[in-house]
Each structure stands twice: as C-alpha cells, then as structure tokens.
C-alpha cells in the first residue's frame, strides 16, 4: 500500500534534478509510488497545451506533487504555468526556507530563515493587466484581501509556533502603497496579537533587503505579499550559496506542490551539471509535510555530509562533479 506522489519532471534541468531527488527518496526507503505528469514546454509538445487537464487531475488525485521548474514561453499570451497551478489549487502559502550548509560558497554560516510568501494575490493576481493601444502606457492591479492577508499571516505564526521559532518579521511597503500594503500590515498586526509568545517585527521591504545582506542572523520567519516574497526569497537563496540550495513548498488546504525556487536554467540544461539539492530539499519539505520527519532528517544529514566533505559537489558549490556524481555521493552518505 504505497503512497502515491504526482511527479512533474518539468523543463530544462528539471528532469535531471527531479530524477536525482527520486533516486534519493528511493534509497532512503521512502517507498512511494510515482505518477508522472507533464507540464510546461514538454506538455505543449506532447499534448498541445502547457497545463493539460490530465495533469491537474493527477495532482488533485494524489494531493501531493513534486515538480521540476517549468518554462513559460515569453510572448504568445501564455500565462505563467506556476501562477496557474497556484491559483487552480488555491496554494496560498509559499514556504521558502534557506539553511546554511557548511562547505558552500556562502559568506555566512548560521542562516536559518523561512520566507512565507502570499502566493495567490498581490501584484500576481493577474487582474487588470492592460496595455494601451498606442503602447505608451500599461496597468496592472494589485489585490489584497483581508481573508488572504489573514490566512497567510496566520499560517506564518502557526509555522513559528510549531517549529518553536522566536520571531516573525512582517514585510511591507505601507508607507507608499497605503491601500494594499497598508491593509496587509493592518491585518498582520491583528494576527500577531494572537501570538504573544512570538516576537513580531515590522519592516519596510527596502530596509529588509539591506538588513538581510548585512545582518541575516536578525531574521527568523519573514511573512509578506506575493511580489516582495518572490524577490526576497531569491535574495535569501544568495545568502546560503545560491538557487541550487533553495527549495519551496506551495501549500493549500487540500493540495501541496513541492519544487525548486529556481527556473529551468536553460543556460546549463542538458549538461548534467545542475545542483539537484534544490529539488532534493523540496522533497525533504514534502516528507516533513507527510509526517516522515526521520527520513527527512536522514536525507538532510546526507546532503550536509556530502557538501561538507566537498569532494563530490557541483560547480555552483565550488566542485567539478556532475549532477549524477553528486547524487551518488549523497546516496553513499545516506
């Protein structure tokens, strides 16, 4: 009676790093059954659409998906497949943890920050996108609802409480974006009052960027709106050795999709040199979501050991190993 996981290999470096993650899960004895589904360019070629109904059905059936990055063609009026997936399944919370691993190219040592990004509203709601006929002006609408702001901040404080974390930083720009960011801040403050044991800090997004680069140890959990969260989480990835080390979970009431933070990396696709840790770390998030904490810890320790040894790591971590060699080294350390 194996648990079924929907697996979307994705585009570019996706298939190779997703394959690496499945190899690790299998060697750790997770005993999953994988249902493969197509999305992205691969799906466009095979099925004539970027996000086929059969893929949506398979995600809905298993409730849990592990996905590689997807390429959204620029032009041609395609909406981002990732944005579509998040909206379709109402995956309102995007959890992006970054943790230091000894032996990476990072300048910092003890980073442990989770960015919790509102994943369905804000500047990415897709509403009111227009371009003037004469091409001289354009508009897009940012949407913040009380319900959306409340459920994401509530989610962030719940994570803080369940992981015994000390501090939540509410990131906003309410001084300028008075209506939207102002409402987000107001609602977040109300939620914060329900968690008196957790320290709450408010900071304007510009100040957050400077402080993250200078004093990352001052941050614990960050909760923010969609666009700020997208940008800040890449900044955080840079603090721990790059996008190859950054996973993300998209969580809704019913469905959860686990993925890398980065894209399909067309510049290095097909060369077997991508760092598979992003998706392996995403699969660790998946294991934790499924209550398989021991397996999660076992895999995390194997990654830690492999990177600390430093002999068999990919280029972005200062080594010369291929994706396959790096994966096998992690397997050996399981």
- Minimum CB separation of residue 279 from Mg ion in Å reads 15
Our CB check for Mg ion shows the closer of 154 and 230 to be: 230
- Minimum CB separation of residue 86 from Mg ion in Å reads 12
Backbone angles phi, psi at 25, to 5 degrees: -60, -40
- Report how far residue 83's alpha carbon sits from residue 40's, in angstroms, rounded to the nearest whole number: 12
**For residue 4, what are the contacts with CB-CB under 8 A and spacing of at least 6?**
32, 33, 34, 35, 61, 62
- Minimum CB separation of residue 262 from Mg ion in Å reads 8
Our finding on whether 38 is near Mg ion (CB under 5 A) is no
Place of tokens 């497949």: 81
Residue 230 interacting entry, from ligand NAI, Mg ion, none, C-beta within 5 to 8 Å by type: Mg ion
Our CB check for Mg ion shows the closer of 160 and 274 to be: 274
Specify the 3-state DSSP secondary structure of 88. Answer: helix
Task: List the x/- string, 168-207, binding to Mg ion by CB under 5 A.
Answer: ----------------------------------------
CB 184 within 8 A of CB 123: no
- Minimum CB separation of residue 261 from ligand NAI in Å reads 7
DSSP character at residue 73: P
Our finding on whether 230 is near Mg ion (CB under 5 A) is yes
- Minimum CB separation of residue 124 from Mg ion in Å reads 10
Site residues, ligand NAI (CB under 6 A)? 13, 17, 69-72, 82, 243-244, 259, 262-268, 274-275, 278, 316
Give kind and range of the element (H or E) at residue 36. Answer: strand 32-36
Token representation of residue 164: 């015994």
| Residue 234 buriedness (CB in 10 A; 0-12 / 13-18 / 19+) | middle
Q: Which residues bind Mg ion (CB under 5 A)?
A: 230
């Amino acid at each position: 009676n194996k648990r079924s996981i929907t697996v979307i290999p994705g585009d570019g470096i996706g298939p190779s790093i997703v394959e690496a993650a499945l190899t690790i899960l299998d060697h750790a004895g997770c005993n999953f059954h994988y249902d493969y589904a197509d999305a992205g360019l691969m799906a466009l070629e095979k099925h004539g659409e970027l996000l086929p109904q059969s893929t949506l059905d398979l995600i809905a059936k298993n409730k849990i998906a592990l996905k590689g990055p997807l390429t959204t063609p620029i032009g041609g009026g395609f909406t981002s497949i990732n944005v579509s997936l998040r909206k379709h399944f109402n995956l309102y919370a995007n959890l992006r943890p970054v943790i230091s691993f000894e032996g990476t190219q990072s300048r910092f040592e003890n980073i442990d920050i989770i960015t919790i990004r509102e994943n369905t509203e804000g500047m990415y709601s897709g509403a009111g996108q227009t371009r003037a006929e004469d091409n001289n002006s354009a508009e897009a609408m940012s949407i913040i609802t009380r319900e959306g702001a409340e459920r994401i901040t509530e989610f962030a404080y719940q994570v803080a409480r369940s992981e015994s974390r000390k501090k939540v930083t509410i990131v906003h720009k309410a001084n300028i974006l008075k209506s939207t960011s102002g409402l987000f801040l107001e609602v977040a403050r109300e939620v914060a009052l329900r968690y008196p044991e957790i320290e709450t800090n408010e900071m304007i997004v510009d100040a957050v960027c400077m402080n993250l680069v200078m004093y990352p140890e001052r941050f614990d959990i960050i909760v923010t709106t969609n666009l700020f969260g997208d940008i800040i989480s890449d900044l955080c990835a840079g603090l721990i050795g790059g996008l190859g080390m950054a996973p993300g979970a998209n969580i809704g009431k019913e469905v959860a999709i686990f993925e890398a933070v980065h894209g399909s990396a067309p510049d290095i696709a097909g060369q077997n040199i991508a760092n598979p840790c992003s998706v392996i770390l995403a699969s660790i998030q998946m294991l934790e979501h499924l209550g398989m904490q021991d397996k999660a810890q076992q895999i995390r320790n194997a990654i830690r050991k492999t990177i600390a040894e430093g002999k068999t790591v990919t280029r972005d971590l200062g080594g010369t190993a291929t994706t396959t060699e790096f994966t096998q080294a992690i397997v050996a350390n399981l």
